[in-house]
Amino acid sequence: MSLLKTLCLLLLTCHLIDGRKTREGRVGKVSPEERVVLKVKEPHVSSAVFRLFLGGEDTCTLDPLQLHTLTSCGFNSSNPLIIITHGWSVDGMMESWILRLARALKSSRVDTNVVITDWLSLAHQHYPRAVKSTRTVGKDIAHLLQTLQEEYRFPVRKAHLIGYSLGAHISGFAGSYLGGSEKIGRITGLDPAGPLFEGISATDRLSPDDAEFVDAIHTFTRERLGFSVGIKQAVAHYDFYPNGGDFQPGCNLQNLYDHLSEHGLLGFEQTVKCAHERSVHLFIDSLLNKDKQSMAYRCTDNSAFVKGICLDCRKNRCNTLGYDIKKVRTGRSKKLYLQTGSRMPFKLFHYQFRIQFINQMEMDDPSITISLTGTKEDSGDLTIPINEKVSGNTTFTFLITLDKDLGDLMLLKFYWESSAVWRNMWNQLQTIFPWGKQMEKPQLTLGKISVKAGETQERTSFCAMENDGQHVEESQEKVFVRCKENTTKKTQKRL
């Protein structure tokens, strides 16, 4: 695949102009009242090919009109069903992540039927044409499920549809076309496509109504030329926005060398589509690294999240990203945010810091460094981003993420330096006034200090180790220890 074609894959500039000029053949879903009328009828000739994953790279083709193929391929109607559906294709080739996801599902859930939807003949078209075909492929999946329901008494609530990009909306259409009162058990949208779907009615895209439970992972919603590759708006019961959902660590052009080293010339393609496809690899990560499940937290937006004010798990305000999500149906879509690393395993541990400053003198942008010591690990030096004036009685809250679990927090070290402007002013004062050299060094007076671990929901308060109060002079490292009240509460909790 050429770099130019790959760029078109994400930016879609080659094809969306045509798609914006006309909306004929508008993609739409059926309302609940129309389901009985539009229930898929026999005989239905499928435009998609369904392949049962057997292991490794082996698959077996299923034909809903030839029921013996289900038996000969080894389909087990007693086991759950997962259907993987890919998105738009530039080169007409099946992408490598599909088999990787299938293998991860099989290794994690051995007694599961894993089926791959192959709609490459329709996906390998201009983007607007591929969009129009999503309704057709959705009918194909609905027909397959209906056949299993009627011929094998397979309950569709045991079906889990996983769709990437356009495949996410296809999965939604399948749910809306399926006749009867019983809904598909779960639909997972992996960075559902944005162009021609952003801002339209819930009946014309993936929505929470399409299954008993719908979750979505948004990883590339950054706008380019007026549109984004992934959809920005919430489309599920739980919508996850890793790293804000607009871009992903490790997917910048600076990482091109790493991608070339790992993938050869295909590294160009990997760099361009990296953020969009990250949704897939985050889901695979949740299957392969059971002991490192990524936790996300409900928040109004990412700017509020990075300030560290949204690490609350009460009343289902947090959830696990990926396969083992806690399935809670909600009346409104919940947006959840988290930070991740650039490589698998992607999990990061979230810590909310709250520091109260009690200061007589106004000070701009002090540079603060903190280090934490826990029962398991030491954080090392952490630079705290305070880009505001410190004056009076002010409490700052901010988020720190680490790739390791520190355990129970026991000790905190605090170090600070004033900004260059403030330090120059101080030096001038000492030069101008003869008693300047006798003046005390600038100091910050700290009030309450606390750290909350998002993953455990435990909050730890820190007190000065020595009995000299909470004053910290510039360039002085001060040690704070776990307050006695924390130790007492933890002991009582264990008892």
d(CA 91, CA 288): 29
Which of 309, 338, 367 terminates a domain? The answer is 338
| DSSP symbol at 454 | T
Buried b (16+ CB within 10 A) or exposed e, 291-300: ebbbbbbbbe
Clarify whether residues 375 and 313 are in a common domain: no
Q: Please state the rounded mean pLDDT for residues 432-458.
A: 78
Q: Quick one: 251 and 312 in the same domain?
A: yes
Region of residue 199 (phi > 0: left; psi between -120 and 50: alpha; otherwise: beta): left
**Looking at the domain assignment, is residue 292 inside a domain?**
yes
The average pLDDT across 403-417 equals 94
Instruction: Answer yes or no: do 268 and 380 share one domain.
Output: no
Instruction: Determine the pLDDT at residue 417.
Output: 85
* Total domains present in the chain: 2
> Is 210 annotated among the ligand-binding residues?
yes
- 344 found inside a domain: no
- State the pLDDT confidence band at 393, using cuts at 50, 70 and 90: confident
The verdict on 143 and 72 lying in the same domain is yes
Task: Tell me which residue range forms the domain holding 478.
Answer: 349-494
CATH code assigned at 161: 3.40.50.1820
Q: Looking at residue 22, what is its pLDDT? A: 35
Q: Which of 315, 338, 361 is the last residue of a domain?
A: 338
Q: Which of 318, 338, 358 is the last residue of a domain?
A: 338
Tell me the catalytic residues. Answer: 165, 191, 276
Environment class of 124 (CB within 10 Å of its CB; exposed 0-12, middle 13-18, buried 19+): middle
Q: Does residue 343 form part of some domain? A: no
Question: H-helix or E-strand containing 111?
Answer: none
Output the pLDDT for position 475.
85
Task: Report the pLDDT value the prediction gives residue 468, as an integer from 0 to 100.
Answer: 65
Shared domain check, 319 and 181: yes
- Radius of gyration of the chain measured on its C-alpha atoms: 27
Does residue 355 sit in the same domain as residue 381? yes
> What is residue 6's predicted lDDT score, i.e. its pLDDT?
44
Among 150-164, 307-321, 347-361, which stretch is predicted with the lowest mean pLDDT?
347-361
DSSP symbols for 327-356: ----SS-EEEEE---SSSS---EEEEEEEE
Give 438's DSSP letter. G
β-sheet bridge partners, residue 164: 190
One domain for residues 55 and 77: yes
Domain harbouring 363, CATH code: 2.60.60.20
Residue 381 C-beta-side C-alpha neighbours within 13 Å: 7
pTM: 0.86
Same domain, yes or no: 219 and 293: yes
> Looking at the domain assignment, is residue 253 inside a domain?
yes
* Residue 275 counted as domain residue: yes
**Same domain membership, residue 355 and residue 295:** no
Shared domain for 83 and 31, answered yes or no, is yes
State the average pLDDT over residues 153-176. 97
Inter-residue contact 192 to 164 (CB < 8 Å): no
DSSP state at residue 183: P
Are residues 334 and 355 located together in one domain of the fold? no
244: helix, strand or coil? coil
pLDDT value at residue 44: 82
Cis preceding-peptide flag for 43 (omega within 30 of 0)? yes
pLDDT on residue 473: 85
Judgement on whether residues 353 and 334 belong to the same structural domain of the protein: no
Domain membership of residue 425 (yes or no) is: yes
Q: What is the pLDDT of residues 79-104, one digit of tens each?
A: 999 999 999 998 889 999 999 999 99
